[in-house]
């Protein structure tokens, strides 16, 4: 069972109350990419972001407003040094290939976050 979470995405915001509804949003793509921010309703933190482009994903976790955050440590081998991802402003965000993880693990991390509201232990993390 997940907590009630607000999910902000490239085309709006949704209040999500079930794992199934969260999975549906996580799997949506616009031109091969997506950028989600997930936080407990109605708070702003803890906050997890999921950024996807094609088969690449990067996660960020922020425990509080003042927390500089954590970034996923990549689990893939054939990844470029930098990867371009969609940004909510409509521009492109460039992130290090060393942060890229596989989509299945990324989706599992988002669900784990929504269940516990803590940083998932399913991936390694690096401090920002």
Q: Which tens digits make up the pLDDT trace of 57-69?
A: 999 999 999 999 9
Q: What is the pLDDT of residue 111?
A: 98
Residue 119 is encoded by which pair of tokens? 């940083």
Q: What is the pLDDT of residue 11?
A: 85
Residue 31 is encoded by which pair of tokens? 């031109």
Before 42, cis peptide (omega within 30)? yes
Q: What is the pLDDT of residue 88?
A: 79
Q: Confidence class of residue 30 from pLDDT cuts 50, 70 and 90?
A: confident
Axis-axis angle for helices 19-26, 103-116 (nearest 10): 140
Delimit the domains of the chain by residue range: 5-127
């Amino acid at each position: 069972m997940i907590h009630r979470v607000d999910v902000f995405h490239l085309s709006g915001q949704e209040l999500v109350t079930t794992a199934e509804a969260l999975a549906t949003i996580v799997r949506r793509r616009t031109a091969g990419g997506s950028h989600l921010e997930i936080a407990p309703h109605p708070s702003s933190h803890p906050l997890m972001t999921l950024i996807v482009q094609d088969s690449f994903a990067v996660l960020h976790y922020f425990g509080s407003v003042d927390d500089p955050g954590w970034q996923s440590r990549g689990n893939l081998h054939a990844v470029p040094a930098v990867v371009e991802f969609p940004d909510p402003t409509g521009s492109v965000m460039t992130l290090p290939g060393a942060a890229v993880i596989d989509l299945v693990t990324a989706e599992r991390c988002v669900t784990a976050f929504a269940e516990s509201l803590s940083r998932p232990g399913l991936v390694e993390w690096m401090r920002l």
